[in-house]
Amino acid sequence: DARVTQTPRHKVTEMGQEVTMRCQPILGHNTVFWYRQTMMQGLELLAYFRNRAPLDDSGMPKDRFSAEMPDATLATLKIQPSEPRDSAVYFCASGSWSGEQYFGPGTRLTVT
Amino acid sequence: SQQGEEDPQALSIQEGENATMNCSYKTSINNLQWYRQNSGRGLVHLILIRSNEREKHSGRLRVTLDTSKKSSSLLITASRAADTASYFCATDHNNAGNMLTFGGGTRLMVKP
């Protein structure tokens, strides 16, 4: 049963520290999405890739966030330096050719 | 904004009753999808309906789409306590990479 995996599942860090979140999309899917979910803002799209090329990262604060796909089996989202307002659940999703998205379990980030 | 909006924001029903959730959007779509999110989990794809379809069924789920009114509804029949979750509609506005725009969700509680 193919699934999207994300690591770590939980991360607590202090303000100013670097945070790296990883995602392994479903093999064969050619699009990968990064979302952030908070109670106040709901689900926000941060960035997405097609065939490993970034298509849109306009939802990301560019000064501190970066998203990459070094290969087809790994997508990363980095925050440097992290701030308390970055506390949220970060989801990775991979997209099938027909348009459905398959979400990972998320990384719950707490920045103190 | 192209964001879909769900209505109601919250719904509480008894087990066995039907639950209806509505979604409205503003600009033309390629397809519309419904997702479920259990507390603390990632979103799970439920059903996709294309712009040239009017109704689709999957088990106890029935989705309708009215492109003239730019609206969709999700009906869950004979609800169960396990259906308690948040339900999101997401619209594909034919952007590159099948990007989806998610609404704010409907929180459904099914009381046993």
Encode pLDDT of B50-68 as tens digits.
999 999 999 999 999 999 9
Place of tokens 């945070």: A19
Going A50 to A56 to A60 to A65, the CA torsion angle's sign is: positive
Place of tokens 């599942």: A9
Q: Say if B98 is an interface residue toward chain A (CB within 8 Å).
A: yes
Q: Is the pLDDT assigned to residue B1 strictly greater than 70?
A: no
Query: Which chain B residue shows the shortest CA-CA distance from A106?
Result: B42
Tell me what pLDDT residue B2 has. Answer: 44
What is the mean predicted confidence (pLDDT) over B9-18? 96
Q: How far apart are the first and last CA of chain B?
A: 38
Nearest-5° Cα angle at A9, B97 to B81: 85
**Portion 67-86 of A in contact with B at CB < 8 A:** none
Q: What rounded mean pLDDT belongs to chain A? A: 94
Q: Give the C-alpha separation, B33 to B26, whole Å.
A: 15
Query: Which chain A residue shows the shortest CA-CA distance from B31?
Result: A99
Q: Give the C-alpha separation, A61 to A83, whole Å.
A: 12
Size of interface A-B (CB pairs under 8 A): 57
Q: Give the C-alpha separation, B36 to A85, whole Å.
A: 26
Q: Give the C-alpha separation, A55 to B45, whole Å.
A: 22
What is the mean predicted confidence (pLDDT) over B42-56? 96
Q: Say if B105 is an interface residue toward chain A (CB within 8 Å).
A: yes
Q: Report the residue from B45, B97, B102 with minimal CB separation from A100.
A: B45
Q: Is the pLDDT assigned to residue A17 strictly greater than 80?
A: yes
Query: Is B7 within 8 Å of B106 (Cβ atoms)?
Result: yes
Lowest mean pLDDT: which of A100-104, B80-84, B94-98? B94-98
Lowest mean pLDDT: which of B3-7, B39-43, B106-110? B3-7
Q: How confident is the model at residue B95 (pLDDT cuts 50, 70, 90)?
A: low
Provide the residue count of chain A: 112
Query: Is B52 within 8 Å of B40 (Cβ atoms)?
Result: no
CA A100 to mean position of chain CA atoms = 17
Min CA distance, A67 vs chain B (Å)? 16
Query: Which chain B residue shows the shortest CA-CA distance from A92?
Result: B42
